[in-house]
Structures are given as C-alpha cells and as structure tokens.
C-alpha cells in the first residue's frame, strides 16, 4: 500500500447522490491532490463486500424515500464495520439520507418505518406539512458554514448527553424547526443536512482533510508493522 494513496469509500454512490453530494468527494480529492496525495474512490453498492478499516474516509450521501428503502435492505450487513470504524474515531461524512441511516429509524410520509443502523440514538420523522428548504447558515467549531437544505425529515436526538450538533443555526432549520441545531458531530463522524455541497465551505473541508491524513498515517503504519 502506497503512503500517497488515499482510499475513499462512497456508500451507494449510484443510489444516494442527491443535490450534488458527490461534490463533497470531488472537493476532498482536489484538496488532497494539492497536498500531494492521489485518491481512489470505490462505490460500495448493493451486495458489495466492505470493510471500513480498508479506507481512509467513508462518505454516504442523500437519497429519496424509494432509494432509501432499497438501501435499507442491504446496509445492515455493514453495521458492525461502520460502528467500529466510527467509534474508533475515524473520519466519516454522512449527508441527509445517509445521516438519517445512522439513527434508529426513519418514518416516511406513508407511515412506513425504515429501520436504521442504530449506531446513534436519534430518529427521523417525515412531516409533509413542513418542508425545510432554502439557504442555511450556522456556526461550527471551524467557523461559519453556508449551505442549502431540502428535506421534510425532521431528526431528533434521543440522547443529548452523548450526541452534539455539528453547528448552531443562524439561518434555516437544520435537524428540525425546534432545536436550532444542524447535524451531528461525534468524534470524527459528521452528519449533516447541508447540500450545496457542504464542503464548498473550505474551513470544514480542510478540517476533514486533516482527519483523513491523520487516520491514513495510522493505517499505513499499522499495515507496515503487520507485514514486517
């Protein structure tokens, strides 16, 4: 394994890629190239084998209800590897539908409950009378973020001691209309409703690049020690 190749896993790229979410991966690839690294992006889709620890970064974009019901039948196979990867503090970004899948469940407009992975104590409820759409602005630990949201799913934390938002809303809705919070930050996991893509905000993109490079160095070192 070369120490100048960054491996990115894009979960269900062919199904979960609304509102240009793939731009997040393209931006990271560009910034990593400027740092002297090549990137390999693997689409992990239906039926594919996947070990999160083979990658330096995992990305999961958004999708419509139909695509989410398709993914829901396949993704439980990956719960164990994703949960261990996240809890080990390795970098992952989930946008909209991908973010929702990390929780316990998503209740659709028709009343169908889509089971999530249950990695985080949160849930999402589709509310057709309150579509949250428009430009957003919120403050994170890396400074201000400007993005775009378009969702009717309202996400609620079920354990506010364990879970902390990515940012505090200045404009827009974020997770839901009541909490004035956007997304989730847990160790080096980020969940967000921000499209546009999110990582056009270079302050956040550069922070994730640092997470990726730190984990990459650890992964390369561990691999080399095993083969010696």
Q: Which residues are catalytic?
A: 96, 195
Locus of tokens 């809890």? 87
Taken in order 72, 77, 209, 190, the sign of the CA dihedral is: positive
User: What's the full length of the chain, in residues?
Assistant: 228
Alpha-carbon span 166 to 157, nearest angstrom? 12
Alpha-carbon span 91 to 225, nearest angstrom? 22
Helix, strand, coil abundance in the chain, percent, nearest 5: 30, 30, 35
Using an 8 Å Cβ cutoff, are 186 and 159 in contact?
Answer: no
Alpha-carbon span 71 to 60, nearest angstrom? 11
Alpha-carbon span 88 to 5, nearest angstrom? 21
Determine phi and psi for 148, rounding to 5 degrees. Answer: -140, 140
Alpha-carbon span 142 to 131, nearest angstrom? 28
Alpha-carbon span 223 to 55, nearest angstrom? 12
Alpha-carbon span 37 to 60, nearest angstrom? 22
């Amino acid at each position: 394994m070369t120490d100048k190749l960054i491996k990115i896993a894009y979960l269900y790229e062919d199904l979960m890629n609304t509102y240009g979410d793939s731009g997040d991966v393209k931006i990271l690839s560009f910034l990593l190239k400027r740092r002297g690294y090549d990137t390999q992006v693997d689409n992990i889709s239906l039926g594919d084998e996947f070990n999160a620890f083979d990658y330096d970064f995992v990305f999961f974009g958004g999708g419509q209800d139909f695509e989410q019901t398709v993914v829901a039948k396949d993704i439980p196979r990956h719960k164990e590897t994703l949960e261990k990867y996240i809890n080990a503090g390795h970098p992952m970004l989930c946008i909209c539908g991908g973010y929702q899948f990390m929780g316990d469940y998503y209740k659709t407009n028709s009343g169908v409950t889509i089971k999530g992975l249950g990695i985080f104590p949160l849930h999402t409820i589709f509310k057709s009378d309150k579509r949250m759409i428009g430009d957003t602005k919120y403050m994170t630990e890396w400074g201000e973020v400007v993005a775009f949201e378009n969702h009717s799913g309202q996400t609620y934390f079920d354990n506010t001691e364990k879970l902390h938002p990515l940012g505090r809303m200045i404009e827009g809705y974020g997770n839901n209309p009541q909490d004035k919070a956007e997304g989730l930050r847990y160790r080096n996991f980020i969940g967000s409703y921000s499209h546009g893509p999110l990582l056009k905000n270079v302050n956040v993109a550069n922070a994730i690049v640092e997470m990726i490079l730190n984990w990459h160095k650890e992964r390369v070192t561990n691999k080399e020690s095993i083969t010696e």
